[in-house]
Amino acid sequence: MLEIDDLSVRFRGVHAVRSVTARVEEGAVVGLIGPNGAGKSTLVNCVAGTVRPASGAVRWRGARLDRLSGERIAAHGVARTYQHARLFHGHTVLDNVMTGAHRLGSCGMLRAMVRAPGFRRDETRIRDRAEEALAAVGAHHLAMADVGDLTAGQQRLVAVARALASRPDLLLLDEPAAGLTDAERDALLADLRRYFAEHRVSGLVIEHHLGFLMELVTDVIVLVRGSVLTRGAPDDVRADPAVIEAYIGV
């Protein structure tokens, strides 16, 4: 279980996240929505170890994450995507996705990227994991393409595949459907629903496309100005007048 306890983050004295407490049960997929600047990405960054909270705690299966580096958090089975794909241009799609499987081998991501000796011993297994991850998001046909030649939507799929290649137990997705066409978005929704169901992976998902999000998650947390406004089932949150006023602006 992911436990976020009384978490606060301040940037230059301003609260980006204020006293947030939340739980993600094993196998649950929870959505995180709210207006721009609500603190969604900051909260996910705290879980992933790229932002240190001013106070509070983050625990995954009992392990305290907010005191660990991002690499050590990944070793606990946590994987993430970013608002921007952050791919290695000049390399193939397969190369990029293989870097996501580094925790399954004996070397780290950067050593994997440059094909260090420790990486070569693990290459076959890591390649298999990467190919499986690409297939899981319907992008296996892109394996040998240079990521710089892909559309923004295709790059987003590669970023999701890279996260899946690590065989995560907790998957953090920051706007996975951004830049996708309608057809790509529908396909990714089906692929992720199947992946979460088959692998019993827990998830925390930020997504501005509410139709996509509400079909993917089991529960929704609404953040406004860094604080939790409400939490509930997708249909209940969608119909909540306070959410409509704060999030949609009606």
The C-alpha atoms of residue 224 and residue 246 are separated, in whole angstroms, by: 7
* pTM listed for this prediction: 0.90
Question: pLDDT at residue 234 above 70?
Answer: yes
Share of the chain above pLDDT 90, in %: 80
Residue type, 41: S
Domains of the chain: 1-77+168-249 (3.40.50.300), 87-167 (no CATH)
pLDDT tens digits for 21-46? 999 999 999 999 999 889 999 999 99
Q: Who wins on pLDDT, 104 or 49? A: 49
Q: Would you call 134 helix, strand, or coil by DSSP?
A: helix
The per-residue pLDDT for 250 is 44
Q: Would you call 119 helix, strand, or coil by DSSP?
A: helix
The per-residue pLDDT for 114 is 57
Confidence at 115, pLDDT banded by 50, 70, 90: low
The per-residue pLDDT for 131 is 96
| Least confident range of 106-115, 162-171, 181-190, 225-234 | 106-115
- Element (H or E) spanning 187, and its range? helix 182-199
